[in-house]
């Protein structure tokens, strides 16, 4: 009876958060992993809880199309959810928790709590949303450290002292369904264990969660995990569509309307869905004229060679209306985009330059 009750709760949490209508699977672009921080000897000495030198903090993002909502991470029969490391996970033993919602902003700068391991449905701290460091709004950082959390390892991209990926917002609370002792690996004891797994539970956002930039990049922070081992996961995700439908994405064995998405499986030794840290040289980008009537130009100026570049243009509903691969770029590059056939209104240009995504708005008159 208890097992059936848990299954019913999971079904409610992951199948009825917004509606029962099933639509075409389009809204989850990928699951992206950001290397948030790499610890050094100062962090080890100043940590509350064992933090080996060289531990990497990984942030995991559900990269959604604009206006879609993250509803749940889940594991069910045939679709287990697993998060693990070859060593063990770091948990801050001062103010650490299984979610960041209870970590007050006054404490996020204390010792090593900012790199605690936890699940999230958008939050990075109490009353704060998470955002990739490359998309931070540039306002005052909560993490000032000195000397802890000040390591400037280039493999982790932007230093936390420059952008901490924590912005003002109103995040939803995490609802755990069917999970009890499984969560101990991410609770307040450091190096407690190395594996979280469930085939009968979920990490849910009741009502659905959107990212700090919901009408543009819409990346929802779904977890932060710190370890000095090889980090890996296998996830399943349910999202809600802007029209009230639901979409389910699985890491293996899709059935019915489920969609197989390869980036739901990750291994840090094979960085296929790793968000590339921002390079030391960031190319300048201009879009003009804006507003545009018939055409606009994307001008990119790169002092050194940048690789695997491209763009896509989305309308306000998140539909892709144009996209193109630009290959490798060095120096000045100008791409002209014909928008004469576009309907009047607002569009978003998502640029992917050297593995780093950014979004700008244009208006078609």
Looking at the fold, whether 298 and 209 belong to one and the same domain comes out as no
pTM: 0.72
As beta bridge partners, residue 346 has 363
> To the nearest whole number, what is the mean pLDDT of the chain?
87
- What's the residue count for the chain? 365
Per-residue pLDDT for 8 more than 80?
no
State which of 248, 275, 302 marks the end of a domain. 275
Integer Cα distance of 28 and 218 in angstroms? 10
Residues 232, 312, single domain; the answer is no
My answer on whether 69 and 177 are in the same domain is: yes
Shared-domain flag, residues 79 and 160 = yes
CA–CA separation, 248 and 51 (whole Å): 36
Question: For residue 359, what pLDDT is reported?
Answer: 83
* pLDDT exceeds cutoff 90 at 341: yes
Beta bridge mates, 350: 312, 359
Q: Are 14 and 71 in contact (CB under 8 A)?
A: yes
Rounded Cα distance, 150 and 176, in Å: 33
Indicate the pLDDT class of residue 202, thresholds 50, 70 and 90: very high
Q: What is the CATH number of the domain that holds 351?
A: 2.60.40.3880
Confidence at 21, pLDDT banded by 50, 70, 90: very low
Summarised one tens digit per residue, pLDDT across range 220-253 is: 999 999 999 999 999 999 999 999 999 999 999 8
**Which residues 6+ apart lie within 8 Å of 149 measured at CB?**
37, 43, 112, 114, 115, 143, 160, 161
Asked if 266 and 320 sit in the same domain, the reply is no
* Same domain for 340 and 271: no
d(CA 167, CA 130): 6
| Total domains present in the chain | 2
pLDDT at residue 267 is higher than 60 = yes
Domain boundary among 241, 275, 309: 275
Specify whether 271 is located in the same domain as 301.
no
Please tell me what DSSP assigns to residue 49. Answer: S
Domain extent at residue 289: 284-364
Q: Are residues 24 and 64 in the same domain?
A: yes
Determine the pLDDT at residue 274: 60
Q: Given pLDDT bands bounded at 50, 70 and 90, which one contains residue 308?
A: confident
Q: Mark whether 228 and 99 lie in a shared domain.
A: yes
pLDDT value for 188: 87
Residue 3 predicted with pLDDT over 80: no
Q: How far apart are the first and last CA of the chain?
A: 61
Query: Which of 275, 298, 325 represents a domain boundary (last residue)?
Result: 275
pLDDT above 80 for 138: no
């Amino acid at each position: 009876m208890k097992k059936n009750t848990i299954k019913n709760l999971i079904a409610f949490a992951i199948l009825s958060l917004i509606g029962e209508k099933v639509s075409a699977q389009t809204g989850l672009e990928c699951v992206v992993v950001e290397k948030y921080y790499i610890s050094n000897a100062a962090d080890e000495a100043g940590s509350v809880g064992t933090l080996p030198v060289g531990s990497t903090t990984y942030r995991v993002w559900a990269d959604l199309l604009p206006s879609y909502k993250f509803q749940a991470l889940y594991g069910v029969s045939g679709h287990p959810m697993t998060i693990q490391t070859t060593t063990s996970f770091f948990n801050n033993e001062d103010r650490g928790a299984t979610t960041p919602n209870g970590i007050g902003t006054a404490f996020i700068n204390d010792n090593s709590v900012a790199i605690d391991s936890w699940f999230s449905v958008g939050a990075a701290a109490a009353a704060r949303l998470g955002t990739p460091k490359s998309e931070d709004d540039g306002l005052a950082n909560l993490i000032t450290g000195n000397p802890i959390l000040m390591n400037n390892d280039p493999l982790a991209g932007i230093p936390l002292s420059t952008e901490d990926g924590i912005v003002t917002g109103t995040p939803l609370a995490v609802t755990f369904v069917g999970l009890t002792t499984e969560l101990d690996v991410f609770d307040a004891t450091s190096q407690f264990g190395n594996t979280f797994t469930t085939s009968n539970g979920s990490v849910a956002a009741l009502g659905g969660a959107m990212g700090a930039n919901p009408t543009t990049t819409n990346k929802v922070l779904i977890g932060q995990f710190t370890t000095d081992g090889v980090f890996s996961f296998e996830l399943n995700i349910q999202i809600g569509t802007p029209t009230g439908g639901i979409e389910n994405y699985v890491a293996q064995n899709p059935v019915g309307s489920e969609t197989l998405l390869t980036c739901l499986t990750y291994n840090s030794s094979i960085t296929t869905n790793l968000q590339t840290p921002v390079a030391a040289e960031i190319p300048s980008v201009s879009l003009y004229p804006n507003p545009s009537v018939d055409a606009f130009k994307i001008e990119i100026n790169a002092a050194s060679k940048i690789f695997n570049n491209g763009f896509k243009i989305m309308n306000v509903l998140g539909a892709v209306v144009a996209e193109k691969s630009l290959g490798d770029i060095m120096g000045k590059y100008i791409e002209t985009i014909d928008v004469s056939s576009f309907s009047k209104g607002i569009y978003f240009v998502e640029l992917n330059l050297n593995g780093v995504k950014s979004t700008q708005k244009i208006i078609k008159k």
